[in-house]
Each structure stands twice: as structure tokens, then as C-alpha cells.
Amino acid sequence: MAVVGGSGHTGGEACRLLLNHPAVTEIVPTSRTKEPFERVHPNLLGSGLEFVPVEEVVASAARFDAVLLCTPSGEAMRLAPLLLAAGTRVIDLSADFRFPDPERYRAAHAREHTAPELLAEAVYGVSELYRERIRTARLIANPGCYAITALLGLAPLVGSGLALPDAPLHIAAVNGTTGAGVSPRTDIQHAEVVGSLLPYNLAGHRHAPELEHQFGELAGEPVAVDLSTAHGDFARGIHIQASVRIRPELRDGLTRESLLARYRERYGEGAAGEFFVRVNDQPALGGLTDKDYGRFPHLAAVAGSNFVHVGLDYDARLGIARVVAVSDNLVKGAAGSAVQNLNLALGLPETEGLRGYGL
């Protein structure tokens, strides 16, 4: 297995997960840094991994079962054609293959796509939604961290026709500072971000078009997404709160409990259903104004894991379902979902190497 872009947060996390994967016998990370692997990733001290130039992986691509591209957008579209031509599978963790046509990509990322001939065959890598297509894919486009958390959090509402199509999905999302990448920036240094929130891209986040396309596929009609984002003063994690306006004709008798039943129907019960999606259906305690924290997911509970925890409540006065979904942006939001997709593509048990619970 090769990990291109192994010096970044996502590349390092991919190496960490693969080191604990019982079916992986070789890991070859690449980097352009002059620093040794274990100095860049001291948590993996003793792993024995060493960086190689990316050109070495491209030249010997045929010997790898798959190559994970943990690279900035723009780099994967350059490398993927070379790797695919050599006969290996590609799992791209950047945004380069998340849209089915180059115009959608250009509109979201303000650049031209240089490998448009591959877009039609790329499979969007949410295992829980596109499992069968992923099993036979050569090219898998891993979703963004905000996107996979929002999609799994809202799919039972949007996909069942409960969501009012004329009303935008309002999604407020906070992620950890690892979501800003490894390049040094004063704004995300610990001394600057601690005790604060850093809103960004409020004029239009690049994940909003990605979500609109995927929610549109689920709903069978256009869906508008109002996405606001910020970095929190924690290293890893995604916390999403979403408001979904329910169709007026479907509101009669709707309750938190009936909505949770739809989530259990979609995802099953814990390990017996979608293993990595857990529904927090703790009973509501106290009255309307009581601060009942236990009925909603906690961000810290998923740190280091490949799980998404989902919870919700229902505002009957406004006819709005309010959903909370949390994940680790480096695991389920990136490297973990990539390994989950890798398992599917290689015919391995989907949970292999990923069954660890949160810290």
C-alpha cells in the first residue's frame, strides 16, 4: 500500500490506521520533506516507515494493491491517470474527483480539471451509501470531512422525502484545527485559537456544492445547502448542527421518537447495522427547558475512531428537525473512510483495522 502525501495530518493518520490493519503487509509513504518519517510523525516512532519520493511510487505503481492520495487538490488529477494506467486502484482524499463533471468542479474550486475523462467513473466514497459501487471501483473519491458527517447525519431525513425541498438545509459546522492543514499559519497557532472560534468561507464553502450534489442524488430533486463553517480550539473533530424543515403535510404526529425510529430503520442497531453510524437515542430527561446534554452526541466520544454519532430533536412549533452529528475529521472524515473503502475494494471485511472505539 502506498500513501502519497504522507507528511500531512491525513497522510500520517492513514499510515497509523494501516499499521494496525491485519491484512496490510507493506506501507510506502511519500513526502517531499527532508525530515525522516518518525520525526514528522513521532506518534509512530518505531514503525520503521520511511518516506520515499512520489516518483518512486509512480514508477512502481503496479506492485501496489492501492494508492491513497493524501494530497492537495490539483495534485491528484495529475497523478491518478498515471497510477490507474499502471493497473493499481486509487483512493483520492482530495476534492479532485468528487464531482461527476468538470464544470461542477470548476465552479466549486475555481480551477480547470486536467483529467475530466476520469470523472464519470469515479465513485463517491461514502461506504454506507454507495457500498456496491465501491466494491468494483478503480477510482474512489473520498468525501470531504464536513460532507460525510452531514450526509450520514441527514440522509434518513433527506432520502425519505421528509425534508421540505424549497427550504435550504441549514448546517452549522465546526472542525478542529487539523482541518486547516499542516502549513504554518498564525491564525491557527495554539496561542491564537485557544478559547476562540475562527469562522471562515462564509460567502460560500467549497463543501456546499458537494453536499448539494449528493443530497440531490438522495432526494431525487435539487437541494440547497446553507453551510457555515468555523475552526474550534481543538485539534481533531467535526461537530455539525443542522436544521431541516419538514414538509407541512408530514408534520402531524411527528416526534423525536418517531424520527429516531426512522434513523434506526436506516442504520440498524449498533454493530448489527451500519457499524460506523451510531444513533444516540437516549431518552429525553426532564422538561422542555431542562439542559439535557445526554440526548445528543459528544464530540470527544468519537476522537480517534471511525464512528459518526448522530442525535436529534424535533421543534414541533416550527416543524424543524434539529440534527447533531459528530465525527473525527482525520478518521471518518478522511483516512478512516478511505481505509473502509479500501476494505470494500479489496474484498476484505469492511470494518477490518477500524473497529476501535473513541478515546
> Catalytic residue positions?
145
169 sits in the region (left: phi over 0; alpha: psi -120 to 50; else beta) called beta
In this structure, are residues 18 and 47 in contact, taking their beta carbons and an 8 Å threshold? no
> Three-class SS of residue 118?
helix
In eight-state DSSP terms, residue 355 is -
Q: What is the C-alpha to C-alpha distance for residues 334 and 245, in angstroms, rounded to an integer?
A: 29
Which grid coordinates are listed for 104?
Answer: 461542477
Which grid coordinates are listed for 96?
Answer: 479532485
Integer angstrom CA distances of residue 217 from 94, 155, 197, 201: 21, 11, 33, 25
Which residue matches cell numbers 491525513?
Answer: 10
In this structure, are residues 274 and 337 in contact, taking their beta carbons and an 8 Å threshold? no
> Three-class SS of residue 349?
coil
Instruction: Count Cα atoms within 13 angstroms, Cβ side, for 231.
Output: 20
Helix H or strand E encompassing 309: strand 308-315
In this structure, are residues 244 and 323 in contact, taking their beta carbons and an 8 Å threshold? yes
Q: What is the C-alpha to C-alpha distance for residues 96 and 75, in angstroms, rounded to an integer?
A: 8
